[in-house]
Amino acid sequence: MTDPANDIDDAMAHIREAVSQQLGIDRPLATADVDIASLPHFGRNLESELSAERRAELVAEAKRLDPWLQGPFWLGGDLVIGGTWRNDGRWLGFGEQIPADLSGKRVLDIGSNAGYDPFMFHLRGAQYVLGAEPFMFIEQARFLERIYETGVDFQPLGWQDLDPALHGTFDLVHCHGVLYHDMHPVALLQRLREMLAPGGTLYFGSMMLADPELSEYARYVPGAYYGDATWWWVPGRLAMRWMLESVGLEVLRQLPVHDGPPGEFATINGYFECGIGEPSPVITRVDSSTGAPPPRGAG
């Protein structure tokens, strides 16, 4: 019988290797020089001072779960997990575009990583938050949830595993940074629409081609982008809009964009706000578990 702790250590070692190839480091620092007073307090009962023993315990567990791509996360006292991506910066803009009060709302976050976005949705009063993260980063989210005790429901689910009959539908669906990592982007978008409740809103964020001359095109990446071999499809802004509309998502507005990572071609990162619309009557329905069209005669 395998030891779950060893499984986690092995999985994080594999992730560290991948991050090292992309970022040139294998263990990003677990602390950050940030103003603690400016950070969101995800837990209600965090201690303003940590005993030396408790601090050492938290630091050891955080380092065991390196690399931390998301952050910063305040753990109490002077202890902050920094995070390579600095999600607080993204939320400075994104947070102004979504409702400040999510009371009574069911929220689904797809590709949660360490849980920064689900914790933010909970902080805004969401009644229920499902954080879907299929990779070992979910152990970071679970570690933080043990500290914060928010009630966010982190489950090891990929978008292919989501089922409205099993998980219900959601008033707000958030998916950021997933599409360009997936070989079946249209099947992903179809599933997102299925998870939206009537009247619900999808906030869909992705890397896109920065060149306006390429707006109606999508670029296939057979190798790697910025050292990351999991990049596959990077659409232009117009192509991205057409893809959303084709699967039955009404684009209500496009939110402001900012520069993507400095890879082999220029990219931007931006969100679309969508409601439920009508899918194209001629679109092929893809079985998301296999990436293949259904048999002839299937619905």
Query: Where residue 200 sits, what CATH number does that domain have?
Result: 3.40.50.150
150, part of any domain: yes
284, part of any domain: no
- Counting other chains too, the contacts that 239-243 makes at CB distance below 8 Å and 24 or more residues apart are 239/215, 240/206, 240/208, 240/272, 241/272, 242/216, 243/185, 243/186, 243/189
182, part of any domain: yes
pLDDT for 294 equals 40
Mean pLDDT of 170-199: 97
pLDDT for 297 equals 35
Please indicate, yes or no, whether residues 119 and 229 belong to a single structural domain of this protein: yes
At 133, is the secondary structure helix, strand, or coil?
coil
Mean pLDDT of 129-139: 97
Please indicate, yes or no, whether residues 94 and 140 belong to a single structural domain of this protein: yes
pLDDT for 57 equals 96
Q: Is the confidence at residue 240, as pLDDT, over 50?
A: yes
285, part of any domain: no
What single DSSP character describes residue 185?
A: H
Q: Tell me which residue range forms the domain holding 92.
A: 87-276
Please indicate, yes or no, whether residues 93 and 73 belong to a single structural domain of this protein: no
Which of 26, 54, 81 is where one domain is finished?
81
250, part of any domain: yes
Q: Are 177 and 111 in contact (CB under 8 A)?
A: yes
- β-partners of residue 219 are 234
pLDDT for 293 equals 42
Please indicate, yes or no, whether residues 42 and 190 belong to a single structural domain of this protein: no
pLDDT for 8 equals 61
pLDDT for 166 equals 98
pLDDT band of residue 135 (cuts 50, 70, 90) is very high
84-103: pLDDT as tens digits: 888 998 999 999 999 999 99
How far, in Å, CA of 63 to CA of 57, rounded?
10
18-35: pLDDT as tens digits: 555 555 555 555 455 688
- Per the structure, the count of domains in the chain is 2
Mean pLDDT of 262-281: 96
User: To the nearest whole number, what is the mean pLDDT of the chain?
Assistant: 89
Q: Is the dihedral of CA 34, 40, 46, 47 positive or negative?
A: positive
Q: How many CB atoms lie within 10 A of CB 79?
A: 19
9, part of any domain: yes
Please indicate, yes or no, whether residues 30 and 96 belong to a single structural domain of this protein: no
Ranking 15-24, 125-134, 260-269 by mean pLDDT, the lowest is 15-24
How far, in Å, CA of 41 to CA of 253, rounded?
30
295, part of any domain: no
pLDDT for 96 equals 95
* Amino acid (1-letter code) at residue 240: M
How far, in Å, CA of 148 to CA of 256, rounded?
31
Please indicate, yes or no, whether residues 173 and 247 belong to a single structural domain of this protein: yes
At 288, is the secondary structure helix, strand, or coil?
coil
224, part of any domain: yes
Please indicate, yes or no, whether residues 137 and 240 belong to a single structural domain of this protein: yes
Which of 28, 56, 81 is where one domain is finished?
81
pLDDT for 2 equals 58
Please indicate, yes or no, whether residues 44 and 155 belong to a single structural domain of this protein: no
Please indicate, yes or no, whether residues 239 and 97 belong to a single structural domain of this protein: yes
pLDDT for 290 equals 47
